[in-house]
Structure 1
Amino acid sequence: MRVLVTGADGFVGRHACAALRAAGDEVVEVHGPRGEGISSTALHFDIADEAKVKAAVSEVKPEAVLHLAGFSSVAKSHQNPARVFAVNTMGVVHLLTALRESAPKARVLLVSSGEVYGPVAEGTLAAEGHPHVPLSPYAASKSSGELAGEQFFRSYGMEVILARPFNHLGAGQDPTFVVPSFAAQIRAIGLGTVDPVLRTGNLDAIRDFSHVKDVVDAYRLMLLKGEAGQAYNVGSGEARTIRGVLEEMIQLSGVQARIELDPARLRPSDIPSLVADTGKLRALGWAPKLTVADALRDVLGPRVGAH
């Protein structure tokens, strides 16, 4: 199938494009404005630019769309809510409006986030029917984008499917995210360029971690078999504290370091526990093939843990 991938120059986008091509799909990449010059074959535009979105969709007329473009940092979303909503909510509206005009039969996977659920009782898995209680502009904008997708499905019969991924890890993730931040610090400590101190935010939060390669496999499966108008959680279903992940990274790396809380790394609001109920996705035939340890080795890279 001919798949338009927005956000193709991002962390997940690069893995998704590789997986789609390996499966035999024709991929048309959309890079954000900062990706200008990286690829001569990719389209370049800001998803918040309605005219450019419309022109690109009219040109490509995709059979399927994997919509990954978005403002992705929960922590940074508190600093610029207007931009977050312009990208994560209005970007969806621009994309679906353009598809309705030029490719109304395209299968569309809107990638939202498990963050839309907000706090879930510890020991309880968040199922797709759990209410949305967003605690950040990021989560609120993703929830709003979902609502737009549902409206286009109900009103115009468009083939819109919603993905709600939980935390995912792998090579190439921006170091502003928690696990890559740990990895960068561990590498520096291993090289002896900094003091053996790991500076962290809240380590007690409970999260659900998956390998990014398993996540993008789930996205392709949803494009093929997902039911339009439905949402699917993407995660492992396993609860891990951030502290437990950090300790596993330290063990894998072999470095010795002291852990120190850095108040600057704490968020204005944080979710104590968020773990996915993945039964609905598994019913489509998906199951993870890789482990969190595999993902952590990829994040740490070859210089660490080689022994």
Structure 2
Amino acid sequence: MQTTRNARQLLSRARLLLSRNGVRTATTVSQEKDAQTPQSNQTDTDQGKTTHFGFQTVAESEKEQKVHEVFEQVAQSYDVMNDAMSMGIHRLWKDIFVERLGPTHGMRLLDMAGGTGDITFRYLKYLANQPNTEGRSSHVTISDINQHMLNVGEERSKRLGLTTDKLPNLSIDWQCADAEKLPFKNDEFNAYTIAFGVRNCTHVDKVLSEAYRVLQPGGRFMCLEFSHLTNETMQWLYDQYSFQVIPPMGQLLAGQWQAYQYLVESIRKFPKQEDFKHMIEKAGFVGVTYENLTFGIVSIHSGFKL
């Protein structure tokens, strides 16, 4: 009874906040067809190259800073909001993602945009449950363009006891880096993961190219990202929830309306599953596939470097 009462109060306050803020809603989304059918991340104008920041058109040079500010604002409340927005389902998505990767001892993983450690911690747990009879050493580099996110992840790793002195045959690095310009050598890793991060990058093609460069031949690229539902009715319901509940929820729980408005909009601007598959193939990967989870709310994309 108390949980139901709290949920009703939250929705009531969300509706009140919506009435006070002139923001886009799901109805607006249906009117902005270009947001539903993105063709590319960049366009050329007379004033130079532009790209999207949510539904806004901004100069390419501005997007990185704007995205940086968003994640700087939400870093401390990121995990709470993930649970609230997805009703905890994001945990299952990430579990499945790591299971599909199937970590093995001896793996060198680059977990890109992995600041808070969600994928890395699952990777470590998976390895811990696998016998390491040969004593093979494994390595993971957690990298993110935002140092605030990395700080949150490092603190979490300490609280969980996931430090190198307590994990034999394993080394961990935390490194601030841009996915479009990685500071790593060619062929340095045999697995590359990026979860809910690629859509925030200005040049997705450069991200994919860099992923290909740093992977060893036979290495695997895996991406978990919000996607597009295949059922129109369910997509409409999803839009209603996304635009009318998530931004006010962000205001109530994290004091951040605009940051979560951007996150919702950025999902709608990301390429559809088949389009992104072609982008991965264009970067040089083979055996490229995708798997829809929860009717296509998110998808797991996979490819190999030969």
Q: With structure 1 as the length reference, what TM-score do the two structures score?
A: 0.36
In terms of fraction of residues, the more helix-rich structure is 2
Higher strand content, 1 or 2: 2
TM-score by length of 2: 0.36
